[in-house]
Amino acid sequence: MTSKTVFEKLDLAPAYRQVSDSVEKMIRSGRLSLGDWLPPETELAAQLGVNRSTVREGLRGLEHAGLVRRDGKRLKVAIPHYTELASRASRALVMHQVTFRELSEAAAALETITAIFAAQRIDEGGIRALENNLKEMKARLNDIDSVVSLDIEFHNLLAEYADNRALSLAREPISLLFYPAGKIILTRLKTQKRILDAHKRIVALVRKHDEAGVRAWMERHMADLKRGYERTGIDMNRPMDSAV
Amino acid sequence: MTSKTVFEKLDLAPAYRQVSDSVEKMIRSGRLSLGDWLPPETELAAQLGVNRSTVREGLRGLEHAGLVRRDGKRLKVAIPHYTELASRASRALVMHQVTFRELSEAAAALETITAIFAAQRIDEGGIRALENNLKEMKARLNDIDSVVSLDIEFHNLLAEYADNRALSLAREPISLLFYPAGKIILTRLKTQKRILDAHKRIVALVRKHDEAGVRAWMERHMADLKRGYERTGIDMNRPMDSAV
DNA sequence: ACCAATTTGTCCGTATGTATG
DNA sequence: TCATACATACGGACAAATTGG
């Protein structure tokens, strides 16, 4: 048996780490809440008993994480937004050499369930937004870049009206990578018309709140995109990094 | 009136930002690859023409993002791993006051598709791992904490054998929040037996590669958990923050 | 529109601890 | 054991931008 422990195990983490942890705790505990300004660096340094340079190092981490945001000169407490997290996540997927096969499978599942929820919950405004998207795409059917970005917008609209933030967070990093792949497909096989037709069908079914129909058509639509990719001749099991 | 403006006001991002961007580009372009040591701070400072303090601020951001990792004294290039991204994402969901309804819906969809892929692809080793998990849970059915963590492990095992990293990334932040909720349920309604039975069924179907059966039972299982939560009397539309 | 105070951005120099050869 | 290289941390300084009177 060792002798009685007298001394606390003292800080192994570098000071700048303790600074960011400390501020983060402050935020999580609610002592600093959303939109509050952070104290000036000098004051933080004084309160925490470290040098201002050390404080700055700590703040950079939080800034990068999106927990504090620049508003003019000073920093204010913020909430990391999905899009930042999503872009970070999709970059991680690329670095992990995720394949199109993986993306396609995940996207099929997520876009389908998203569309089903949208069919349950969409309102008139949502229907109109989707129809505008269809109209736009119809008008620009020859411009591949427009079609691709309108395709992205279509799925994002569905996600918006699906009214589920957990699902949004889950699908965003994947759609961010999946749809660029759509561009590869479109530039090689001109399947814009096929995409537009699928979207039209889906909108019609969403309007009728026909969940089963939406499921069937979204699954068909996603399978179609996968087939398109296969027909480009690119190996499905090749990492996506070239596409990004 | 001022004289005619000729030069754009060049709005330079702060130097520390340029440092992190520069290093990040270096990594992404492959000029620094996985596991490489970063140059010493002094050398980075010299190469980039900024002060060492500035370099340090820039590095803190990358460190926080998981793009570089401290290995002993120096920093080496790393890949941000899912679990870090996932915990960040789930914390963001909490801050966004995501409700149990949203989590439950997303989890149902993601766990179901995960189980289906697992049924397609699992091997003997995977089956054995799942069966060990069942055995453990059966042995500890009275210890709620054990049951909850074994439940988490069960679903993580399915994800592992589903062999899809995009899906893993998508489900992790949600499962991280959803399963703590499982503990709330179990402490109020003793439904351990029901969970174990569902897991048993799913394993049997996964072994037979019965995708339709797996889909049906996983959907039932997730619906069951949702019902359990409802029966605790907690409002499904209340934010999850209290649970975490 | 001007001034003064505040706060950040950036730099310099230095001291200390700790791995590694 | 000793020397070197490197990260950590501190203190002080000044310019530039912002804010408030």
DSSP string, A3-24: PPP-SPPP--S-HHHHHHHHHH
User: B38 in helix, strand or coil?
Assistant: coil
A98/B170 touch (CB, cutoff 8 Å), yes or no: no
* Dihedral of alpha carbons A224, A181, A184, A198, sign: positive
- Average of per-residue pLDDT across A17-37: 88
**C-alpha–C-alpha distance, residues A49 and A166, integer Å:** 39
Does residue A234 lie in a domain region? yes
CB nearest to B79's CB, from A65, A81, A95: A95
pLDDT (tens digit per residue) in A39-75: 889 989 989 889 999 999 999 999 988 899 988 888 9
- Judged by a CB distance cut-off of 8 A, whether residue B161 touches chain A is no
Q: Is A189 exposed, middle or buried (0-12, 13-18, 19+ CB in 10 A)?
A: middle
- My answer on whether A129 and A213 are in the same domain is yes
- Measured from the Cβ of residue B242, the count of other Cβ atoms closer than 10 Å reads 9
Does B63 have pLDDT greater than 50?
yes
Confidence of residue A184 (pLDDT cuts 50, 70, 90): confident
Name the residue range of residue B72's domain.
Answer: 15-77
Token couple for A122: 């969409």
Residue in A with minimal Cα distance to B80 = A92
- My answer on whether B109 and B220 are in the same domain is yes
Looking at residue B125, what is its pLDDT? Answer: 96
Last residue of a domain, one of A77, A96, A122: A77
Q: How far is the CA of B53 from the C1' of C19 (A)?
A: 22
- My answer on whether A105 and A203 are in the same domain is yes
**CATH value at residue A92:** 1.20.120.530
Does A244 have pLDDT greater than 60?
no
What is the distance in angstroms between the Cα of B158 and the nearest Cα belonging to chain A?
A: 15
Does residue B5 lie in a domain region? no
Does residue B238 lie in a domain region? yes
Q: What percent of chain B has pLDDT over 90?
A: 52
- Give the number of domains in chain B: 2
- My answer on whether A120 and A191 are in the same domain is yes
Which residues 26-85 of chain B have a CB under 7 Å from nucleic chain D? Answer: 38, 40-42, 52-53, 56, 70, 73-75
- The helices-and-strands tally (H runs, E runs) of chain A is 10, 2
- My answer on whether A125 and A165 are in the same domain is yes
- My answer on whether A50 and A89 are in the same domain is no
pLDDT (tens digit per residue) in A151-179: 999 999 999 999 999 999 999 999 998 77
Q: Is A80 exposed, middle or buried (0-12, 13-18, 19+ CB in 10 A)?
A: buried
Token couple for B69: 């990792």
| Nearest in space to A152 (alpha carbons), one of A166, A125, A170, A171 | A171
- My answer on whether A128 and A189 are in the same domain is yes
Does residue A4 lie in a domain region? no
Q: What are phi and psi of B68, to 5 degrees?
A: -130, 150
| Nearest in space to B240 (alpha carbons), one of B181, B189, B183 | B181
Last residue of a domain, one of A77, A94, A113: A77
Find residues whose C-beta atom lies within 7 angstroms of strand C: A 38, 40-43, 52-53, 56, 70, 73-75; B 12, 14-16, 49-51, 53-54, 72-73
Q: What is the CA radius of gyration of chain B?
A: 24
Last residue of a domain, one of B77, B104, B128: B77
Residue A100 sits at the vertex; the CA angle it makes with A95 and A106, to the nearest 5 degrees, is: 95
- Average of per-residue pLDDT across B151-180: 93
- My answer on whether A115 and A208 are in the same domain is yes
Looking at residue A219, what is its pLDDT? Answer: 96
Asked if residue B64 lies in contact with residue A58, where contact means CB atoms within 8 angstroms, the answer is no
A65/B57 touch (CB, cutoff 8 Å), yes or no: no
Does residue A201 lie in a domain region? yes
Does residue B220 lie in a domain region? yes
- Judged by a CB distance cut-off of 8 A, whether residue A32 touches chain B is no
- My answer on whether A188 and A172 are in the same domain is yes
- Bases along strand D below 7 A from a protein CB: 5-13, 17-19
Does B5 have pLDDT greater than 80?
no
Q: pTM for this one?
A: 0.88
Looking at residue B30, what is its pLDDT? Answer: 81
Q: Which residues in chain A are closer than 8 Å to B15, comparing Cβ atoms?
A: none
Does residue A26 lie in a domain region? yes
- Bases along strand C below 7 A from a protein CB: 6-13, 17-20
- My answer on whether B71 and B93 are in the same domain is no
User: A67 in helix, strand or coil?
Assistant: coil
- My answer on whether B100 and B218 are in the same domain is yes
Cα B123–chain centre separation: 24
Distance set, CA A108 to CA A216, A220, A242, B43, B175 (Å) = 11, 9, 22, 47, 20
Amino acid making up residue A185: I
Token couple for A138: 């119809």
pLDDT (tens digit per residue) in B43-52: 888 888 889 9
Q: Give the contacts of B234 (CB within 8 A, at least 6 positions apart).
A: B100, B184
**C-alpha–C-alpha distance, residues A31 and B132, integer Å:** 45
What is the rounded (10 degree) CA torsion for A106, A107, A111, A113? Answer: -10
Q: Which residues in chain B are closer than 8 Å to A106, comparing Cβ atoms?
A: 113, 164, 166-167, 170
pLDDT averaged over chain B?
89
**CATH value at residue A23:** 1.10.10.10
Does A28 have pLDDT greater than 90?
no
Does A5 have pLDDT greater than 70?
no
Beta bridge partners of B69: B76
Q: Which nucleotide is nearest to B17 (CA to C1')?
A: C9
Looking at residue B12, what is its pLDDT? Answer: 62
| Nearest in space to A55 (alpha carbons), one of A26, A20, A28 | A20
- My answer on whether B42 and B113 are in the same domain is no
Looking at residue A243, what is its pLDDT? Answer: 46
Where does residue B89 fall: left (phi above 0), alpha (psi -120 to 50 degrees), or beta otherwise? alpha
Does B102 have pLDDT greater than 70?
yes
pLDDT (tens digit per residue) in A110-124: 999 999 999 999 999
- Would you give the DSSP letter of residue A213? H
Looking at residue A12, what is its pLDDT? Answer: 63
Window 174-193 of B, Cβ < 8 Å to A = 174, 177
**C-alpha–C-alpha distance, residues B177 and B179, integer Å:** 6
pLDDT (tens digit per residue) in B190-225: 888 999 999 999 999 999 999 999 999 999 999 999
N-terminal to C-terminal alpha carbon distance within chain A: 58
User: A74 in helix, strand or coil?
Assistant: strand
Q: Which residues in chain A are closer than 8 Å to B92, comparing Cβ atoms?
A: 66, 79-82, 85, 169
CB nearest to A102's CB, from B85, B95, B164: B164
pLDDT (tens digit per residue) in A13-23: 788 988 899 99
A117/B105 touch (CB, cutoff 8 Å), yes or no: yes
